[in-house]
Amino acid sequence: MQDSSQLSSFGSTISVIVPTMCQASRAKLLHRAIESICTQCEVNLDVLIVVNGARYDQQLITALEQDVRLRVIRLEEPNVSAARYKGVQQATGDFFCFLDDDDEFLPHALSHRANIFRQYDSVDVVVTNGFEHRGGLDTPLVTPGSASEISESPGKSFLRSNWFASPAALFRAKSIDPELFNFSYKYFEWTYLFFLLLSRGKRFCYDEAFSYRKYEDNPLSVSKSIEYSMAYPEFLLSLAELHLEPGINRAIREKYLTALNSRSVLEMQQGSWGRAWRSHMKCLLSGGWRYLPYTRKLVINKFQS
């Protein structure tokens, strides 16, 4: 990929959408996110701060509304999916992207993605690599050297490793209908969005440049929650409605069976034997016969409890 420093300035506008509850406890993080956007060079910016919910800090929101670099949009509903959808509806740029209020872009993140669009007219979504920041350390979100695998089969590679994180993508506005963002999942928004785009024939370009830092120090992250694990099987099953190619559907089906078994194990550990048995039987009856030996473990643990 040609280095962005060797290309001329990008003339089009990029809308950056930041959903936030705008609470005082997150003010420092939000300001860091905003500065990482507004200090991007060689791009024209349209920065939208979408405040969702009524529990915002008045002093903070006033400061944001007085910042001439920003457009502030308010939503009564405390719903991050609705905030993203509203942001896309209000975006004026030729391209748009998202940044969570506790993450940040690295220098040249947006110009690099934009210049990739200049090289590939047929691409709808450009995705770049980034760092997962945990315990003071940066770790690549995607293993370097994965570009060829991702390009060869975006869907199957995504099922092996999530390379479509919320701050990773830049979307071409003219080929991405805002209505594609009109959905609400509590935990799986970006997984659903990826497969929705794939089912609509949208074309991805993955580049290995590091362009963002995603902070994962929050011990209450929903992706680690019990509710996430409990809801995962039904979410995977719902993807069948998207009419994906047969190979991807088969891979999702396998993940569904694994997720049912994992949920049964978690329910057993919680002492919810009825639920554990129901999840296990659903797994078996759905074709997960390789998990039949787990039946013995369920019986033994039941009588030992």
Secondary element (H or E) of residue 171: strand 169-172
pLDDT at 6: 38
Distance from C-alpha of 284 to C-alpha of 268, rounded to nearest angstrom? 16
In terms of phi and psi (left: phi > 0; alpha: psi -120 to 50; beta: otherwise), the region of 200 is: alpha
Nearest CA among 191, 18, 10, 167 for reference residue 88: 18
Q: pLDDT tens for residues 51-100? A: 999 999 999 999 999 999 999 999 999 999 999 999 999 999 999 999 99
Distance from C-alpha of 208 to C-alpha of 115, rounded to nearest angstrom? 14
Residue type, position 24, single letter: A
Angle between helix 273-285 and helix 294-304 axes, rounded to 10 deg: 170
Handedness of CA 195, 201, 207, 212 (dihedral sign): negative
Domain borders along the chain are 4-215, 225-304
Higher pLDDT, 86 or 2: 86
CB 51 within 8 A of CB 101: no
For the chain, what percent of residues have pLDDT higher than 90? 86
| Stated pTM of the model | 0.90
CATH classification number, 4-215, choose in 3.30.70.2190, 1.10.630.10, 3.40.190.10, 3.90.550.10: 3.90.550.10
Q: pLDDT tens for residues 225-272? A: 788 889 999 999 999 899 899 999 999 999 999 999 999 999 999 999
